Amino acid sequence: MARRKVAVLISGRGSNLAALIAACAAPDFPAQIALVVANRADAAGLAHATRAGIPTQVIPHRDYAARADFDAALDRALQAAGIELVCLAGFMRLLGDAFVERWRDRMINIHPSLLPAFRGLDTHARALAAGVRVHGCTVHFVRPAMDDGPIVVQAAVPVLPGDDADKLAARVLAAEHQAYPLALRWIAEGRVRVAGDRVEIAAPSAILPAAILNPPG
Ligand code: GRF
């Protein structure tokens, strides 16, 4: 089986990178991580890649006067490694429109909310402030607008009495670690088709409950 060559872009902790590395270790996983790029030399997540023997590259955004120059350096690194798919995993740099268009439908991101709710930062505190009963994460194809683009997978978690932003973040993060490998698997298997603003997935159908109530009633 030819595995799709993936690059993961990080800026920090890299727990989603670790989840993707673990998934790719399965012999039947249809993708392999061929490169991890960080825009900061101190990104802790780089250690996950090094431990797994995955090539890493640091491209410090501060070294580039213009965003387009940083994007071009990033693109060169991806091309040189023969990358087919890009996963943004806690990558805290906005990418320019030209770069995003160049990787259209070949670049995905994970965002810690059920999009289109709570785009941007501090999603867990904002979800608590809004009083939502269900929160979660979204894997989506990247478009020029921030936290926008066709949705591949979402995972929902309940908001529970006594939650604070940290407790809720930890529950969402555990869901992220399931959702991201699943989305990558389906895309790498060629089951995912972008149709306008939506994604169609040819996947074995599973039975989901018609409604998830929280509180359970
Ligand atoms: C995650 O919550 C992800 O959804 C968001 O940034 C965080 C990155 O965490 N985009 P990690 O670096 O993968 O641990």
48 as an active site residue: the answer is no
The DSSP secondary structure of 61-75, one letter per residue, reads GGG-SSHHHHHHHHH
Confirm whether pTM is higher than 0.95. Answer: yes
Distance CA 54, CA 179 (A): 22
Residue 149: what pLDDT? Answer: 98
Give percent of the chain with pLDDT exceeding 70: 100
Residue whose token pair is 């995955």: 54
Give pLDDT tens digits for 95-138: 999 999 999 999 999 999 999 999 999 999 999 999 999 999 99
- 12 alpha carbon – ligand 1 mean position (Å): 8
- Give residues (CB < 6 A) around ligand 1: 10, 12-16, 45, 89-90, 110-112, 137, 173, 176
Q: Give every residue of the chain whose pLDDT is below 70, as ranges.
A: none
Residue 56: what pLDDT? Answer: 98
